Amino acid sequence: MKTVVTLGAAAVDMVFKVDRLPRPDEMVFAEDGPYLLPGGSTANIAVGLARLGVPSRFVGKMGSDDNGRRLLDAFRQDRVDTSFVLVDETGRTAETVIAVDREGGRVIFSLGGTAILEEPGEFNAGALAGAQALYVGEALPCVGARAMAAAKDLGAVVVYGPGGAFSGLGTGVLSEMIALADYLVLSRGEARMLTRQDDLNAAVECLVAAGAHRIVVTQGDRGADLFETRTQAASGPMTVSKRHRDAMGATVVDTTGAGDAFTAGFIRGIITGEDADGCLALGNACGALAVSRVGAREAMPTWDEVRAYIEASGRGGAPSYE
């Protein structure tokens, strides 16, 4: 199995549990925590892939402070390649504060900091050596588009997940990366932010108009959809097919990182040759296991756990995994 390269952000999460999330001007008391945990959406996906048995390489930026060292140590413990991580000697590593209630709901506050490459020249194309796929998460368009184009030239599959941090920029700003991606992965909320469309079908139409080829939309306990554009002939009309996969049952403890776990599972499906159903099933299984645990990085399942979970569930003719 070849390497999956991930380009995006890493951060340190301060996580604590509360009875319920506060209303405006209201104070609630933490019941557990705070805990300082390694995080960042793309960083979580890199670790998620490694735990699923996929060689992964993380490309990003962090400070040389204690938090930066904490993140690098955590990557190495999961055997994620950090050879192309840039360390800013004067930077402060990015941090977030996450409150999680008893139902698994959460609010996230970003404290900013050094987290992503800021100039196209900071991306070293050597990071793509031996890559079967490139995942681009939190990335400035000038950096992300350069990395994607280089990956396409090498024949690698390109997956793009702008996340909540960048989806708000809209399709106009992100159109080049949307068109370069083989797969665009979004939560339902991110699809709404990216397109300014409340209706999912309208959002998909907007994304297709922006150049999207395949769009994956996760919808929590309602499962996930894969929309794919098809053209019958060179001059024929374009159609969009939809494939849905129901969510797998899970006791929700903490939804933090569920989307990251789904994406890691979906990418593993792509590079191991699974069909659309198999990719969605893997993503859903990883997401279900993740929400049953506290934390984001800590909740990323191993391949043995995912395989056992799917085989035990026996749902919907799930594929048999070797």
Q: For residue range 130-154, what is the model confidence (pLDDT) as tens digits?
A: 999 999 999 999 999 999 999 999 9
Confidence label for 304 from pLDDT (cuts 50, 70 and 90): very high
Q: Quote the CA–CA distance of 80 and 72 in Å, as a whole number.
A: 9
Q: What's the confidence (pLDDT) of residue 317?
A: 39
- Domains by residue range for the chain, with CATH: 3-313 (3.40.1190.20)
* pLDDT surpassing 90 at residue 127: yes
Q: What's the confidence (pLDDT) of residue 236?
A: 63
Percent of the chain topping pLDDT 70: 96
Q: What's the confidence (pLDDT) of residue 273?
A: 95
* pLDDT surpassing 80 at residue 233: no
pLDDT tens-digit readout, 21-33: 988 999 999 988 7
* Token duo for residue 237: 């009309």
pLDDT tens-digit readout, 48-78: 999 999 999 999 999 999 999 999 999 999 9
* Token duo for residue 245: 């996969």
Q: What mean pLDDT value characterizes the chain?
A: 91
Number of C-beta neighbours around residue 278 at 10 A: 21
Q: Quote the CA–CA distance of 91 and 60 in Å, as a whole number.
A: 13
Q: What's the confidence (pLDDT) of residue 234?
A: 62
* 3-state secondary structure at position 140: coil
Confidence label for 308 from pLDDT (cuts 50, 70 and 90): very high
State the average pLDDT over residues 239-249.
90
Kindly tell me the burial class for residue 275, based on how many C-beta atoms sit within 10 Å of its own C-beta (0-12, 13-18, 19 or more): exposed
- Of 267, 228, 217, the closest CA to residue 46 belongs to 267
Confidence label for 188 from pLDDT (cuts 50, 70 and 90): very high
The number of residues in the chain equals 322
Pick 158 or 14 by higher pLDDT: 158
Q: Could you tell me which residues are beta bridge partners of residue 106?
A: 100
* Token duo for residue 284: 């859903």
Pick 317 or 235 by higher pLDDT: 235
* pLDDT surpassing 70 at residue 315: no
State the average pLDDT over residues 101-122.
89
State the average pLDDT over residues 242-270.
91
Give me the torsion for CA of 210, 211, 216, 218, rounded to 10°.
Answer: -10
Asked if 21 and 101 count as a contact pair (C-beta separation under 8 A), the reply is: yes
* pLDDT surpassing 60 at residue 293: yes
Q: What's the confidence (pLDDT) of residue 75?
A: 97
Q: What's the confidence (pLDDT) of residue 138?
A: 96
